[in-house]
Structure 1
Amino acid sequence: MRIDLGCGIHKHPRCIGLDSHPYPGVDKVCDLNEGIPLPDDSVDFMIASNILQYLNNAEHIVQEMYRVCKHGTVVCLVVPYAHVTSHITHPEYRQLFDEHSPRHWTKNSYTPMNAEEYLQPLDAGWSLMNEKIEDSERTPLDFRLVRIEYFYFPEYRCLYDEVELRRLRQSQLNVVYQLMLHLVTVKGDMDELELESLTLQPMEEPRSITEQREKNDEQLVLDDRPFVIQSERRNQLENETSALNENVIDSTIGVDVAAELEVDEFNQQAERIAPKSKGKKSAKTRRSTSQSSLRKKVYVPYLRKKRKLKN
């Protein structure tokens, strides 16, 4: 049996959909806070995408998931990442998850995960399950993590390498917004080699995650290392501005030369056509009148051209 917990309107292919609302495609309406209404060891595959955070008791639902799964069943979980301010204050989120959550779901100390992924707390191994808790009514829990995928906010997707992203994720808020975990149910013997082999096998995932990843990959191609692109674009704009300024200067110089030629030509024409003075006006007065006319006919248009080029 394959089941999709909290399937909503997008039930995973070839799965039985369980949800608290009778959406189209839901096969069984049930309250997951009360448990999973299926027999023990009856599930071959389980997926739960963005549902666990809304349930009242994470420990109870994880116990129920383990109860209904067979030995070797793969469980795919998609959950919001705990270290996001909007998730911390979300009024409907009852549970939050991060890379340390699976460490509370097994007593086994071995994991195929990179030790750098769970540096905190520094003095602990992989398992963080409290061995002092003794509850004869509770089913022994053993979910082992075989794969974890982080979904980063857009500004972090292409700026840093894997080590830098890990350090940012472990030390700052609002770096990762979502996790996808693949767990294997262990109810019998499973050696380290078998667990390692599972990490190399393809795993099913929600269609929404596949679409999201493809969209992110396309965006990475378009915006690969945006700081570099912005720097190159900035240099390009500076070069274009510099070239434009040079053209304006060249044009202005050309206008200046043309204006000087016009002034010389105008002075020559003014001297040829100016009436002979009978002594009523001095040379200074004639020169002033000539300069005033020159200003109106040559300098004013010249200034207008120059102002237009600058704008």
Structure 2
Amino acid sequence: MTSETNTPLLEISDLVKHFTVRRRGGLWTSTATVKAVDGVSLNIDNGETLGLVGESGCGKSTVGKLIMRLSSLTGGRIVFDGRDVSHLGRSEMRPIRREMQMIFQDPVSALNPRMSVEEIVGEPLAIHDSRNHREHGAKIRKLLSTVGLANSHAHRFPHEFSGGQRQRIGIARALATQPKLIVCDEAVSALDVSIQAQIINLLQDLQEEFRLTYLFISHDLSVVRHISDRIAVMYLGRIVEIAEKKTLFAKPLHPYTQALLSSVPIPRPGARKERIVLAGDVPSPINPPSGCSFRTRCVKAMDVCAKIAPRLQHTPTGDLVSCHAVELSKQ
């Protein structure tokens, strides 16, 4: 689904999240800073699905939690629907939260085992729509039907459902307040492949019906390719490339994106493609490399890469990439 307006629903500028950790060494205890998110900037338009991909530990889930204000910002700015929500308090965020919801990775831990489905789905209504309490029962039944569950499921508990059904309950809960933005944090990674397809199709149908906007966080490029309009690639706390889905898969510019895409299996028997194997391990976010964070694993690394961190810049096609080698090739 594509954007209908030129005004982004969500604007993130130089988002930073650092964690302080303690390290023990003999008799001494020292502190270190984990740079989980280190200057992320991106926009999401109304009605768009932006996929956010990267290796485990790159900071993509932290970005989702920062957007939802489930974690405080170290720096940067978050503007949602024209409102700066970067540093709003709990009471100030409350009316805004009904417009931004989240679907979590693990549907087991995301649902309270002591609450029935009716109570789980109805909880957001009780918080944000307490004046219309008599109407909640009808709304809950309609939500369950919308996500493919029966009315008889309302009085059951999470342990009585399969993984896919639990995720449908989580989706119904997210829809309860009629949000504009839903952050899907690895929403299908814990499910079987056949169930993944059902949930992805459900999310797409719901987007069309309710005019939703998604930030879809995942490490599975095949899933992201299916659901996204644009894709942002993240490495060690930073965005290295943002492009339209077709452009990214047809002609990736950043060396890290090229390596990621080379690992995606081709669904054709006997088909082969050159695999790009990255050297070394992902550097520690406690002590990232100077300059470009990817340079220690990049075959195109130059002297400038160790000195200056590349900026995220527009390409002639209007996409964004952060790479000195790409910049030099355009000159």
TM-score normalised by the chain length of structure 2:
0.27
Higher strand share: 2
Higher helix share: 1
Structure 1 or 2, whichever has the larger Rg, is: 1
Higher relative contact order (CA 8 A, sep 6+): 2
TM-score normalised by the chain length of structure 1:
0.29
